[in-house]
Chains A and B, each alone.
Chain A
């Protein structure tokens, strides 16, 4: 047998011996890595699958078109269609009317409220988007053109519980519509809910005469797409957008990117805490085997061999954890997609049924990430062990010096300084990259500073204690003050986990309180009346508005007209709401920020609009700036030559509802501009003593009463906060995970220490301490450490929450919030953690004092 092979045998033997002796710690470390990797991988897989499916579905709707022309508002006049169709560069123009039509009875459920219906001209669409063509019954081919026929995708049929030949009930504004299900569609994506009708029928039945949503273009072969796109966009003017399918995908990507990145960041946080656990496990394991390693050095192992051995152990740990994590992540993703679809509570990807693909590139990345994190956790202890002088290391009691390098404050301070610097930097690609880096640096720096801080604090406490009576506290403090580096590991676990708990709790609480305040502010009326939940509501006609306003007991009524305008083809549409707004006091109905124009300074020649914070970030609509909005009467001709009306941003308001931007303007301005007299919603203020139920009963008796939906501010608030809580449920899970990881850090640290301190306990027993006293001392050590950890954790967590609240959130979602601290909840968590950590320390120590005192002392000599 060669020397090297015998050495590797020895290495394996060492490893297996160590791992067998500390199965639990190894398992916990592996699990921590696995959890982080699994979370990250699962989130990535689910989002990638959902995103791909969503893009594919969006692509299948626009078929094989080269370009699409759409209006900035959701529809435009059909007279553009013949103009485009006759351009020599265009081979085929496919007019499309796309509507989200309300399903009666489903309005309570936002994601199931509407069915997407395409109105198509079969003779054009058959060439450009052959997938979304209806398949009629054999002897009823002309159902393709019938005005009462609709073709549904399999998913839509299943969801609406209808089949060929059934009647489908839909609603437009206040009017009910019955359609006959005439058949299926040629090919749609699994889970894609879609209806297709003749375009003439759709315009008529859904009261969209003369309107189109988009025109898809197939260009004559040989036409330069980019050049033609530019030329067409110039010819059509600012009221129209010329887009490619790529723009559409960019829009989908933009829509969900901040959300996807933030979920991935949460997964990385989990991985980070896992890495810390590896570090503590490895560090203590190395400390424990210090004399073993020294012996190996003595019998001829080189430093490099030793280093390699320890890193190999780390790599093995990391590989196992990462592999386990990949498997778990894939299973979790599959389960999540099976149960929830691709939508992780965000609402971005609702209605698609994605298929999960094992993404080998992502798998490699997450594997390497898990491995790198583990190696990082092993590197410092390994380097230290390799550097130790065998002669010194062989002596007992040198463990603490082994970790003394960690006490150097400069790297920690550098981290903290850099973190503070990064916190001030702007977003990169609209993502808070530096914000997240700052959080990581803060966490690393804070933890690295722990040993030094804890030593000085405990020394100070010790000197104070000396004046008081009590041996046990003095012993505990003396230990903590003089062996700060081992204590630091347990401390680090507590600090990192508690700081994450604090940061997330503060962030969520701040957000929730802000949303709650905001809801109170934007819902000042007593009763809200809606015609339909979303999309292409026809709304209420003036005579219907009069009937509603005539309800007895109503003291004031505000009508709202909401629609969407698309200002940038690569971004999701912006919500536009027109409503009565008091120029002198817009703050009475809008939750304005400080960025507001003085009402007296508003110019006469511009129409005031109030924009959400996202508009400032995404489109530069600061208060006081003059902007162009492509609003106006739906004129037939592009570039009609009229000068567009000027708008001025009169104020910026907070909007937690729409991260892609929202604009509010006065209803009178909107009507004058567009000629659109209809409204979607109404807010009713009731006379005192009148109950909302009375008014609802009265309104329901109107001829169109069945089509109205009513909600009180309380109901809306409850619903909104429920949605909020659901989407943040994952953070509560992470907080729990962080606490468990912190506790296992304490457990690992104390059980290793108590093993190493068996001699110390033996001596203490000899000089007359009882077992109970020793255990008390350990519990006290644990409590002291935890208390300090909680203190530092709170500080670091608070700093992180500042970054989350004031940097990460505004940069990701374009909204600001007020800070609020959930004192009571945090105190409860802190106390629980304190009790659990003391208990853990105690339990870990019980083993060390279970043997005979004499044997404990003898063993070592």
Chain B
């Protein structure tokens, strides 16, 4: 489960930070702009009857996911993302974390504009590399409007492009993704070893106490990674394993929600764990979920009451001042999972360019005290609004 939600939330803060930057002659924030679309009900001028505003589809239970159709985009829903995270290993056996994310956001603007530049859909992408040798994330982001074949998400199959950042699912199910960022390039192929893991009730994933607070959501755990990384003009071959989330929705979060914590773990025994909690303004749990699929494909679901996140150790970001519980204990029923970060500073701070701030990092995981696997942990909504 994804991080854009986090952005949704932190966006209310972002907006403010962004404004300050704009006034101070910083580049305006196209991303926070697009995120504004995600969070805010579009305030179109009601006095113009000629406007044709899109009606977004609602997320309802009982709709079966259908593949390969649902690998593709769902433009009638407001937001959607393909979110890949994972662990890589260099030829020197050094570990690296990576994240490649593509978002689609429908703007809700007048769809009768015949211009090919009409900004009906925006594409946003984030990429990050977590290398303990560097001590913090290397990251980059991009955004554009859908159009001209330069930026798109396609219906029917995972085929997403934002200039020269691409993600494509081949016939055989293998994903090819290519990122050319400021500090690094990634060219990865991700091969599934297991069928998609439908989260929640067969892909209907609730995010809050209200039934409409939900998304369609499946994951592809245990992806085998092979490819190259180019840094400082040097290309190195890498291998590893990754986790893909694909999620789409229209109304997502509870109005009281302030952020969330999410983890996806590829367990060494071939099983997969996904857990999240939605936090309220005071840090309390508004909603939670955990799903554990064993090697044979048997899914165990936990109720919100059975899932508990307990901070073990915090780290304070020197850049944003936010304090993140970088080591977290998660209880699912009677099982206790302990997350330990690859490095503490895995904060993605892009306020200078696009405005989003969240923590997205590689973690090792123990199950009831024994090493169990590796995954990615995400924390959003920890940056407090600036008090002026």
Q: Show the binding face of A for B, using Cβ within 8 Å.
A: 78, 81-82, 85-86, 95, 121-124, 126-127, 130, 133-135, 138-142, 144-148, 180, 186-187, 198-201, 203-204, 209-210
**Known A142-B107, A180-B45: A200·B27 in contact at CB below 8 Å:** no
Q: Within the assembled complex, what's the spacing in Å between the Cα atoms of A85 and B164?
A: 10
How distant is B114 from chain A, measured CB to nearest CB, in Å? 6
* Residues in B95-122 with C-beta less than 8 Å from chain A: 107, 109-110, 113-119, 122
Q: Are A138 and B28 interface neighbours, CB within 8 A?
A: no
Per-residue contact bits, chain B 250-288, to A (CB 8 Å; 1 contact, 0 not)? 000000000000000000000000000000000000000
Return the chain B residue nearest A138 by Cβ: B19
Chain B residues, Cβ within 8 Å of A209: 114-115
Q: Is residue B149 within 8 Å, beta carbon to beta carbon, of the partner chain?
A: yes
How distant is B326 from chain A, measured CB to nearest CB, in Å? 31
Chain B residues, Cβ within 8 Å of A86: 150
How distant is B248 from chain A, measured CB to nearest CB, in Å? 20
Q: Are B148 and A201 interface neighbours, CB within 8 A?
A: no
Contact segment of B35-43, B222-230, B294-302, B330-338: B35-43
**Known A141-B33, A198-B117, A200-B115: A130·B15 in contact at CB below 8 Å:** no
Q: Are B113 and A201 interface neighbours, CB within 8 A?
A: yes
> Total number of A-B contacts with CB less than 8 angstroms?
102
Partner of A81, one of B43, B44, B148: B148
Contact sample, A vs B, 9 pairs, CB 8 Å cutoff: A78-B116, A82-B150, A85-B150, A126-B27, A133-B27, A139-B15, A141-B33, A141-B40, A147-B118
Q: Are B148 and A85 interface neighbours, CB within 8 A?
A: yes
Q: Within the assembled complex, what's the spacing in Å between the Cα atoms of A126 and B36?
A: 17
Chain A residues, Cβ within 8 Å of B40: 139, 141-142
Partner of A130, one of B18, B28, B116, B145: B28
Q: Within the assembled complex, what's the spacing in Å between the Cα atoms of A562 and B163?
A: 38
Q: Is residue B23 within 8 Å, beta carbon to beta carbon, of the partner chain?
A: yes
Q: Within the assembled complex, what's the spacing in Å between the Cα atoms of A472 and B89?
A: 118
The 6 A-B pairs of least Cβ separation, nearest first, read A200-B117, A141-B36, A200-B115, A82-B148, A203-B115, A200-B118
How distant is A90 from chain B, measured CB to nearest CB, in Å? 10
Chain A residues, Cβ within 8 Å of B28: 122, 126, 130, 133-135, 144, 186
Q: Within the assembled complex, what's the spacing in Å between the Cα atoms of A199 and B36?
A: 20
Chain B residues, Cβ within 8 Å of A95: 117
Partner of B16, one of A122, A138, A186: A138
Chain B residues, Cβ within 8 Å of A133: 22, 27-28
**Known A121-B145, A123-B145: A130·B115 in contact at CB below 8 Å:** no
Partner of B149, one of A78, A82, A130, A210: A82
Return the chain A residue nearest B113 by Cβ: A204
Partner of B119, one of A180, A187, A198: A198
Q: Within the assembled complex, what's the spacing in Å between the Cα atoms of A148 and B44?
A: 10
How distant is A88 from chain B, measured CB to nearest CB, in Å? 9
Q: Within the assembled complex, what's the spacing in Å between the Cα atoms of A141 and B30?
A: 9
Q: Are B144 and A123 interface neighbours, CB within 8 A?
A: yes
Q: Are A124 and B119 interface neighbours, CB within 8 A?
A: no
Chain A residues, Cβ within 8 Å of B150: 82, 85-86
Q: Within the assembled complex, what's the spacing in Å between the Cα atoms of A122 and B144?
A: 8
Chain B residues, Cβ within 8 Å of A135: 19, 22-23, 28
Per-residue contact bits, chain B 9-38, to A (CB 8 Å; 1 contact, 0 not)? 000000110110011010110101100110
How distant is B331 from chain A, measured CB to nearest CB, in Å? 39
Q: Is residue B232 within 8 Å, beta carbon to beta carbon, of the partner chain?
A: no
Q: Is residue B171 within 8 Å, beta carbon to beta carbon, of the partner chain?
A: no
Q: Within the assembled complex, what's the spacing in Å between the Cα atoms of A145 and B109?
A: 8
Q: Are B110 and A141 interface neighbours, CB within 8 A?
A: no
Q: Within the assembled complex, what's the spacing in Å between the Cα atoms of A78 and B147?
A: 12
Q: Within the assembled complex, what's the spacing in Å between the Cα atoms of A739 and B146?
A: 71
How distant is B5 from chain A, measured CB to nearest CB, in Å? 18
Q: Within the assembled complex, what's the spacing in Å between the Cα atoms of A82 and B116?
A: 12
Q: Are B115 and A204 interface neighbours, CB within 8 A?
A: yes
Return the chain B residue nearest A199 by Cβ: B117
Chain B residues, Cβ within 8 Å of A180: 45
* Residues in B33-83 with C-beta less than 8 Å from chain A: 33, 36-37, 40, 42-45, 48
Chain B residues, Cβ within 8 Å of A203: 115, 117
Chain A residues, Cβ within 8 Å of B163: 85
Scoring B19, B22, B163 by chain A CB atoms within 10 A of each residue's CB, the highest score goes to: B22
Q: Are B36 and A142 interface neighbours, CB within 8 A?
A: yes
Q: Are B48 and A123 interface neighbours, CB within 8 A?
A: no
Chain A residues, Cβ within 8 Å of B36: 141-142
Q: Are A148 and B42 interface neighbours, CB within 8 A?
A: no
Chain A residues, Cβ within 8 Å of B22: 133, 135, 186
Partner of B143, one of A78, A123, A201: A123
Chain B residues, Cβ within 8 Å of A121: 117, 144-145
Return the chain A residue nearest B22 by Cβ: A135
Q: Within the assembled complex, what's the spacing in Å between the Cα atoms of A200 and B122?
A: 13
Q: Within the assembled complex, what's the spacing in Å between the Cα atoms of A204 and B22?
A: 27
How distant is B305 from chain A, measured CB to nearest CB, in Å? 36
Q: Are B25 and A187 interface neighbours, CB within 8 A?
A: yes
Q: Within the assembled complex, what's the spacing in Å between the Cα atoms of A204 and B44?
A: 17
Chain B residues, Cβ within 8 Å of A123: 30, 122, 143-145
Known A-B contacts: A124-B144, A144-B28, A186-B28. Give 14 more (CB < 8 A): A78-B116, A85-B148, A122-B30, A122-B33, A123-B122, A130-B25, A139-B40, A141-B33, A147-B110, A186-B25, A187-B25, A198-B117, A200-B117, A201-B115
**Known A85-B163, A135-B23: A144·B114 in contact at CB below 8 Å:** no
How distant is A142 from chain B, measured CB to nearest CB, in Å? 6
How distant is B383 from chain A, measured CB to nearest CB, in Å? 17
Chain B residues, Cβ within 8 Å of A199: 115, 117
Q: Within the assembled complex, what's the spacing in Å between the Cα atoms of A485 and B42?
A: 90
Scoring B30, B48, B115, B116 by chain A CB atoms within 10 A of each residue's CB, the highest score goes to: B115
Return the chain B residue nearest A85 by Cβ: B150
Q: Are B114 and A127 interface neighbours, CB within 8 A?
A: no
Return the chain A residue nearest B35 by Cβ: A141
Partner of A148, one of B23, B45, B117: B45
* Residues in B371-388 with C-beta less than 8 Å from chain A: none
Q: Within the assembled complex, what's the spacing in Å between the Cα atoms of A227 and B384?
A: 50
Chain A residues, Cβ within 8 Å of B116: 78, 200, 210
Q: Are B118 and A204 interface neighbours, CB within 8 A?
A: yes
Q: Within the assembled complex, what's the spacing in Å between the Cα atoms of A135 and B43?
A: 17
Chain B residues, Cβ within 8 Å of A78: 116-117, 148
Return the chain A residue nearest B110 by Cβ: A147
How distant is B6 from chain A, measured CB to nearest CB, in Å? 18
Q: Within the assembled complex, what's the spacing in Å between the Cα atoms of A142 and B78?
A: 15
Chain B residues, Cβ within 8 Å of A201: 113, 115
* Residues in B329-357 with C-beta less than 8 Å from chain A: none
Q: Within the assembled complex, what's the spacing in Å between the Cα atoms of A86 and B114?
A: 23
Chain B residues, Cβ within 8 Å of A147: 109-110, 113, 118
How distant is B32 from chain A, measured CB to nearest CB, in Å? 7
Q: Within the assembled complex, what's the spacing in Å between the Cα atoms of A578 and B119?
A: 36
Chain A residues, Cβ within 8 Å of B148: 78, 81-82, 85
Scoring B42, B119, B150, B163 by chain A CB atoms within 10 A of each residue's CB, the highest score goes to: B119
Q: Are A127 and B27 interface neighbours, CB within 8 A?
A: yes
Q: Within the assembled complex, what's the spacing in Å between the Cα atoms of A482 and B358?
A: 102
Return the chain A residue nearest B42 by Cβ: A142
Scoring B37, B40, B148, B149 by chain A CB atoms within 10 A of each residue's CB, the highest score goes to: B148
Q: Within the assembled complex, what's the spacing in Å between the Cα atoms of A127 and B25?
A: 12
How distant is A334 from chain B, measured CB to nearest CB, in Å? 29
Q: Are A145 and B15 interface neighbours, CB within 8 A?
A: no
Q: Within the assembled complex, what's the spacing in Å between the Cα atoms of A82 and B103?
A: 21
How distant is A612 from chain B, measured CB to nearest CB, in Å? 37
Q: Within the assembled complex, what's the spacing in Å between the Cα atoms of A82 and B146?
A: 12
How distant is B208 from chain A, measured CB to nearest CB, in Å? 23
Q: Are B113 and A200 interface neighbours, CB within 8 A?
A: yes
Q: Are A200 and B149 interface neighbours, CB within 8 A?
A: no
Q: Within the assembled complex, what's the spacing in Å between the Cα atoms of A126 and B113?
A: 23
Chain A residues, Cβ within 8 Å of B19: 135, 138
**Known A82-B149, A85-B150, A145-B107: A130·B45 in contact at CB below 8 Å:** no
Q: Within the assembled complex, what's the spacing in Å between the Cα atoms of A734 and B148?
A: 60
